[in-house]
Amino acid sequence: MHVYFFGFFMMAFQFAGVVPLTLLLPRLKGLRVTGVFLAEPISNFIGGLACYLTMHATILKPLKTIPEKGNK
């Protein structure tokens, strides 16, 4: 259980990222209540994109540079 819950504190950063969106979006182009509800999926998208870009830069690019066994 400790391993599973270890990363949960990091989720607070994503939840905290929703707050500015929740305050801004209702005022943007008259979105009002819809803006409040759009804050969560927008935050999820930004968080997911950040995770993908980080993974791509730190894991996928270095993996592509490792030569295969048959191509020495």
- d(C-alpha 21, C-alpha 42), whole Å: 8
Domain coordinates in residue numbering, the chain: 14-63
Band (pLDDT 50/70/90 cuts) for residue 71 is low
pTM of the model: 0.70
Q: Which candidate, 41, 35, 33, 34, places its Cα nearest to that of 17?
A: 41
Q: Give per-residue pLDDT as tens, 8-33.
A: 877 787 778 889 999 999 999 899 99
Contact 43, 21 (CB under 8 A): yes
Helix, strand, coil fractions of the chain, as percent rounded to 5: 90, 0, 10
